[in-house]
């Protein structure tokens, strides 16, 4: 009797918005319905569908109406659709957080000026622009074990 009363109380107060994910809600719903079956009281598919539709958050009334209009007859069909939507929303939010709407992407490197520096001929001028053979990092120095051009 105690289990049954507790399960009835939890069923009455079960709402989607009280859970962080649809998987958590689904788990709680099946725990409650299992307890009620143990006490010889069954929850029907229609009861579970109505429970979901009636506990949508007020800001999601349009979604609730759209899901009702799709004519789901089995709870597992509806919960599968909601789980897919939740996964897609998480992916969209991760993409949005990586670069929110309105933010500019990183600027691209100016390819034309990069090509000019690496392909221009001019002997010593080219080497001076690129920093070749200058400073102690590029000359052979036995104390530091560094040699020409490596700079490592």
Identify whether 126 is part of a domain: no
pLDDT (tens digit per residue) in 75-132 = 999 999 999 988 888 887 877 677 766 666 666 666 555 555 555 555 555 555 555 5
Identify whether 51 is part of a domain: yes
Identify whether 76 is part of a domain: yes
Q: Which residues pair with 146 in a beta bridge?
A: 141
Identify whether 78 is part of a domain: yes
Total domains in the chain come to 1
> For the whole model, what pTM was predicted?
0.55
Structure tokens at 2: 């105690």
Identify whether 144 is part of a domain: no
- Residue 16: give the domain boundaries: 2-94
Identify whether 59 is part of a domain: yes
Contact yes or no for 48/33 (Cβ under 8 A) = yes
Structure tokens at 22: 């649809």
Long-range contacts of 33-42 (CB under 8 A, 24+ apart): 35/3, 35/4, 35/6, 35/7, 36/4, 36/7, 36/8, 36/11, 38/3, 39/1, 39/3, 39/4, 39/7, 41/4, 41/8
Identify whether 115 is part of a domain: no
Identify whether 32 is part of a domain: yes
């Amino acid at each position: 009797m105690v289990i049954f009363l507790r399960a009835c109380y939890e069923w009455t107060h079960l709402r989607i918005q009280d859970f962080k994910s649809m998987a958590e809600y689904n788990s709680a719903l099946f725990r409650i319905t299992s307890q009620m079956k143990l006490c010889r009281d069954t929850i029907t598919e229609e009861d579970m569908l109505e429970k979901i539709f009636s506990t949508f958050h007020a800001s999601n009334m349009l979604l609730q109406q759209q899901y009702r209009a799709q004519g789901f007859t089995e709870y597992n069909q509806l919960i599968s659709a909601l789980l897919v939507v939740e996964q897609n929303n998480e992916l969209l939010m991760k993409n949005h957080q990586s670069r929110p709407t309105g933010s500019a992407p990183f600027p691209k490197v100016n390819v034309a000026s990069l090509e000019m520096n690496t392909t221009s001929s001019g002997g010593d001028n080219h080497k001076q622009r690129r920093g070749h053979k200058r400073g102690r990092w590029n000359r052979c120095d036995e104390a530091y074990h560094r040699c020409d051009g490596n700079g490592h």
